Each structure stands twice: as C-alpha cells, then as structure tokens.
Amino acid sequence: MKAADSHEAMERMLSAYLDEELTQAEAQRVELHLQECASCRTALDEMRRIQQLTAQIPFHQPPDAALEAIEQRLSVQAPRRGGWALLVIGIAAWIVYGLVQVLRHPRWPTVPELIAAAVVIGLLLLFVSVLRQRLLERPHDRYRRVKR
C-alpha cells in the first residue's frame, strides 16, 4: 500500500464508501485518509445526511382503488392466457389427428367428422382474426392513457 493517497482520489471514493460498495482494502484506505482530512470528514457527513433525508422525502400515495384495479387486470390476464394456450393446443391436436386418420384410411368423412372439422376450422379462423387485431392495435394500445 502506498504511503499517502491523494485527497482528490479519496474524495471521489467517499460516495461509494458511504454505500459500503468498496472492497475492504479500498475502505481501509479511505478510513486512513478520513482520520487526517477534515474536509473529507465533512463531505462524508453531508452525503450521509443527504442520503438519510432523501430516503425520508414523502411522496403522494396512489388511491387503493387504483392499485386494486391493476391487480384486477392482472388476474383477468392469467386465466385468459391459460385458456388461449389450451385452445391452441386443442386445435393443433384435432388437426393432426384428423390428418392422420385421413391418410391412414382414405374415405369420405362421416357427418360427425364434418361437424367436428367445421368447429375446428371456425375456432382457427377466430383465433387468427383475434391475433391480427391484437397485432394491429398494439402501438396504439401501448400508451393508452387512463384519463385526459
């Protein structure tokens, strides 16, 4: 370790010293310097005071109802996503199953099979249209404001 660290170098480390973000060796160097430098002691005290007072600045609290509304939206988002996932998996499974059946036993489909196919295709179309709408709305929706 060098004999004397410069005041300038030590002064620049005070802020990190205050936050206990220095290595042990660095902190020791700062402490040695603090013992003999009144100006750095004052600086450290002032920074500490600013830190404590900043932590105590009180800010406006949001209304509980507003936070609850956010929670509400979060809980709506969850099952909906689960529902979409199941729907996509279900549709994919139906399509694969149908294709396999047709390839293995080529024949005219029965009435129930035709109905099932109609349902699957219908869901697929709905899904695609919702997806498209979501993508189109995205840039506008993102910054939509609550009020004003």
Note the residues at the interface with Zn ion (CB under 5 A).
Answer: 7, 37, 40
Interaction partner, residue 25 (other proteins, Zn ion, none; CB < 5-8 Å by kind) = none
Closest CA to 18 of 37, 2, 39, 34: 34
Q: Residue 44 or residue 120: which is nearer to Zn ion going by CB? A: 44
Angle at CA of residue 82, ends 80 and 85, nearest 5°: 110
Q: Which of the 8 DSSP states describes residue 143?
A: T
**The one-letter amino acid at 132:** R
Which residues contribute to the site for other proteins (CB under 8 A)? 12, 14-16, 19, 21, 43, 46-47, 49-51, 53-62, 66-67, 69-71, 73-75, 77-78, 81-82, 86, 89, 93, 142-148
Rounded Cα distance, 68 and 65, in Å? 5
Q: Which of the 8 DSSP states describes residue 106?
A: -
Interaction partner, residue 67 (other proteins, Zn ion, none; CB < 5-8 Å by kind) = other proteins
Interaction partner, residue 31 (other proteins, Zn ion, none; CB < 5-8 Å by kind) = none
